[in-house]
Amino acid sequence: MNLTNEQLNTINHINGPALVLAVPGAGKTTMLIYRTMNLIKSGVDPSKILTITFSKASALDMQKRFKALFPTFNRPLKFSTIHAFCYQIILEYSRLRGKKYTLIEDSSTGKYELLKRIYYEVNSKNVTEEKLEIIISQISYHKNSLTNPKDSKNEIPNFCEIFNIYEDYKEKRGLIDFDDMVILALKILKADQYIRTKFKSKFEYFQIDEGQDTSISQFQIVDYLCSPNNNLFIVADDDQSIYSFRGADPAYLLNLKKVYKDLKLYYLQNNFRSTKNIVNTSNLFISNNTSRFKKNISTTNSYKEPVNIIILENNDEEYEFIYKKTQDDPSKTYAVIYRNNLCALGLVEYLERRNITFNIKDNNMKFFNHFVLKDILNIIKFSEDTSDINTFSTFYYKIKGYISKKHISYLKTHSGKNVLRVLLTYPGLPSYYKDNIASLISNFKTLSQLSIYKKIDYILDTLEYDEYLKDSANKFGFNYKSLREYSHYLKYIAKDENTFEGLLGRLKHLEFLMKVPKNSQSNIALSTIHSIKGLEFDSVFVIDLVEGVLPSNKSLENDNSLLEEERRLFYVAMTRAKEDLYLIYPKVHNGENSEMSRFLIELSKY
Ligand SMILES: Nc1ncnc2c1ncn2[C@@H]1O[C@H](COP(=O)(O)OP(=O)(O)OP(=O)(O)O)[C@@H](O)[C@H]1O
């Protein structure tokens, strides 16, 4: 590969701190590999170089790329995630000081169960799954950003107390979670002189890839280890910082000059990846963020197809569009990129019915275990066997009928072919209540006779499960629209099924498909924006570009910094494309009229 002058300049940096600000497709990873060799050629002992990558996969990828570029070099080199590195410090401390640490994820308690228990203790209420996710991400945020949980602005009642009990519980039992690795390693380095000296002398040159997504606590570890020589080389693109919820903050990069007075700043502004159309459009787009380094992004690539803004009637048309386009040329690579995992469901269902294989990059699909899905399936199950009191007990209070706990206790001691008929024998029932139950009996009979697709609407409307969703949205702080999305996707999957067993089988199959390893040979990738970073494809489709999805509802309710992060997410998605970029807006999204994403409106003016 012929390196440009910009690139050569960068890799020739040897001593002292440096920040390389690079645009998408500028060859950041490539530069780190060449610079590693350059250090070695200039006399640095390879075992003294530590390269920190964002993920395990990128550490392996970098190792492979190094081997491919320099096949004859066979001395050991260290490419590691910060967590793996911190874990080594902790292990060494445990070995020398006889203090044992266990990862909470490997312990019998388990992080989720523990936090559920603590939430109950503190708030005398069960925590919902959504709230549990918020708690976990907020704990992580405060630890990584080294901010005080007291200042947290989240909607969790008594969050700070939950945080403190959780931390205290772990500390007393020698348990650590993923985020503790960095904090604990930092504590050990500060307090234990022997270990500090040992690790400080282990490495002399530090390189950080994806610096924009490195959290403040992670930077502190490196800062601690590399002083006083500060042989620190950071490669970053502040415009691609998309992990603020884990404590990454591009402002830290913007202020790096204050931390290292002799910081050398290098720019890599040539995009080798994309057509001029994509580079120019994405450049104009990201310039609307205020908190960023200004760059002059350019490319020597030629103009080709313009960036396509595609407006379609609904999600089905969106899936069909992608299906047809991805059949164009089997030698091309395609990526379908979305903001949330849930957006993939309909597409997976659509492509799979047409025997199209794909690589799906995330498997964090909560859909299959979500309470809305479970409730609806349980209600259908009960309609097929109305003697099943156990299933009935899971949802009786979520549908119309005013059935209470004491009625359920009665039913548990009185069996019958139809639990609702048994309920009619409950002593002293007022006549209006008997009418309610009689109406429910008739509703369940009707439900059992409907097609599987129509059952779902019947449950939502006639059995008033939708009212329950509205109530829980109010009570527990869910977003009602998001809850409705679950029923929408279930209906979408159910529309080609004739039986309940068929639907259950289909769900199992889709769940399996979305969990399979990502090594299939398919040329079509499906991914969230967070998981696609660093990768490139000939054609890219960014789907579901509606207000509330991208930008997300949450970012619209908060201050401008979250909206800037949504813009960066959009930018990361756009800049994965080499040749063709399709930005798609379905007018009806998940069965509801939608508004076009403000980002698309903005782009259509360029
Ligand atoms: N000097 C060069 N000449 C030709 N191609 C290059 C050069 N440097 C890098 N490339 C190519 O440019 C593409 C982008 O490189 P790379 O993936 O390393 O970029 P990146 O800066 O890490 O991108 P991003 O931040 O968007 O993930 C790759 O296909 C790489 O091979």
Q: Whose CA is nearest to atom 8 of ligand 1?
A: 27
Instruction: Answer yes or no: is pLDDT of 485 > 60.
Output: yes
pTM, rounded to two decimals: 0.86
pLDDT at 255: 82
Q: Whose CA is nearest to atom 12 of ligand 1?
A: 272
Question: Ligand 1 in contact with 401 (CB < 6 A)?
Answer: no
Instruction: Answer yes or no: is pLDDT of 34 > 70.
Output: yes
pLDDT at 409: 86
Name the least confident of 242-246, 305-309, 448-452. 242-246
27 is in an annotated binding site: yes
Question: Ligand 1 in contact with 30 (CB < 6 A)?
Answer: yes
Mean per-residue pLDDT, 6-25: 95
Name the least confident of 29-33, 91-95, 245-249, 375-379. 245-249
Question: Ligand 1 in contact with 575 (CB < 6 A)?
Answer: yes
Rounded to whole angstroms, how far apart are CA atoms 320 and 213? 35
pLDDT at 10: 95
Q: Whose CA is nearest to atom 27 of ligand 1?
A: 534
CA of 25 to the centre of ligand 1 (A): 5
More confident residue, 139 or 567: 567
- The pLDDT tens digits of the residues spanning 522-549 come to 899 999 999 888 889 999 999 999 999 9
24 is in an annotated binding site: yes
Question: Ligand 1 in contact with 528 (CB < 6 A)?
Answer: no
- Enumerate the domain spans of the chain: 5-88+188-268, 102-173, 286-358+519-604, 368-506
User: What mean pLDDT, rounded, does the chain reach?
Assistant: 90
Q: What is the largest CA-CA distance in the chain?
A: 93
pLDDT at 410: 85
pLDDT at 5: 92
CA of 272 to the centre of ligand 1 (A): 6
Q: Structurally, what CATH architecture does the domain formed by 368-506 represent?
A: Orthogonal Bundle (1.10)
Tally of helices (H runs) and strands (E runs) in the chain: 28, 15
Q: Whose CA is nearest to atom 30 of ligand 1?
A: 27
Question: Ligand 1 in contact with 22 (CB < 6 A)?
Answer: yes
- The pLDDT tens digits of the residues spanning 287-306 come to 999 888 888 889 999 999 99
Tokens 């040992």 belong to 198
pLDDT at 294: 84
- For the chain, helix, strand, coil in percent to 5 are 55, 15, 30
Q: Give the DSSP letter string of 535-586.
A: --EEEEEE---BTBTTTBHHHHHS-HHHHHHHHHHHHHHHTTEEEEEEEEEE
76 is in an annotated binding site: no
Question: Ligand 1 in contact with 7 (CB < 6 A)?
Answer: yes
Question: Ligand 1 in contact with 244 (CB < 6 A)?
Answer: no
ipTM: 0.96
191 is in an annotated binding site: no
What is the CA angle 54-58-61, rounded to 5? Answer: 160
Q: Whose CA is nearest to atom 18 of ligand 1?
A: 27
CA of 299 to the centre of ligand 1 (A): 12
pLDDT at 554: 80
Pocket test for ligand 1, best of 30, 207, 283 (most atoms within 8 A of CB): 30
Strand partners for 526 = 336, 360
- The pLDDT tens digits of the residues spanning 8-17 come to 999 999 999 9
116 is in an annotated binding site: no
**pLDDT band at residue 514, thresholds of 50, 70 and 90?**
confident
CA of 243 to the centre of ligand 1 (A): 22
* High-pLDDT (> 70) share of the chain, %: 98
Q: Whose CA is nearest to atom 6 of ligand 1?
A: 272
CA 294 to chain centre: 28
Strand partners for 189 = none
Phi-psi region of 347 (alpha: psi -120 to 50; beta: other; left: phi over 0): alpha
Classify domain 286-358+519-604 at the CATH superfamily level: P-loop containing nucleotide triphosphate hydrolases (3.40.50.300)
Instruction: Answer yes or no: is pLDDT of 321 > 60.
Output: yes
- The pLDDT tens digits of the residues spanning 363-410 come to 666 788 888 999 999 999 999 999 999 999 999 999 988 888 888 888
pLDDT at 416: 79
28 is in an annotated binding site: yes
- The helix/strand/coil state of 138 is helix
* Separation in Å, CA 267 to CA 271, 289, 297, 368, 576: 12, 19, 10, 45, 20
Q: Which atom of ligand 1 is nearest to the CA of 536?
A: 17
157 is in an annotated binding site: no
Instruction: Answer yes or no: is pLDDT of 519 > 60.
Output: no
26 is in an annotated binding site: yes
- The pLDDT tens digits of the residues spanning 206-254 come to 999 999 988 888 888 999 899 999 999 999 999 999 987 777 777 788 7
pLDDT at 508: 92
Pocket test for ligand 1, best of 28, 34, 272 (most atoms within 8 A of CB): 272
Q: Which atom of ligand 1 is nearest to the CA of 575?
A: 26
- The pLDDT tens digits of the residues spanning 38-48 come to 999 999 999 99
Question: Ligand 1 in contact with 210 (CB < 6 A)?
Answer: no
Are 212 and 117 spatial neighbours (Cβ–Cβ below 8 Å)? Answer: no
Topology match between the domains 286-358+519-604 and 368-506 = no
Pocket test for ligand 1, best of 20, 61, 239, 273 (most atoms within 8 A of CB): 273
Supply φ then ψ for residue 49, to 5 degrees: -105, 125
**pLDDT band at residue 111, thresholds of 50, 70 and 90?**
confident
Mean per-residue pLDDT, 2-9: 92
pLDDT at 500: 94
Question: Ligand 1 in contact with 28 (CB < 6 A)?
Answer: yes
pLDDT at 477: 65
Question: Ligand 1 in contact with 68 (CB < 6 A)?
Answer: no
Mean per-residue pLDDT, 186-192: 92
* From the candidate CATH numbers 3.40.50.880, 3.30.450.20, 3.40.50.300, 3.40.50.1220, the one assigned to the domain spanning 5-88+188-268: 3.40.50.300
**pLDDT band at residue 516, thresholds of 50, 70 and 90?**
low
Name the least confident of 264-268, 415-419, 507-511. 415-419
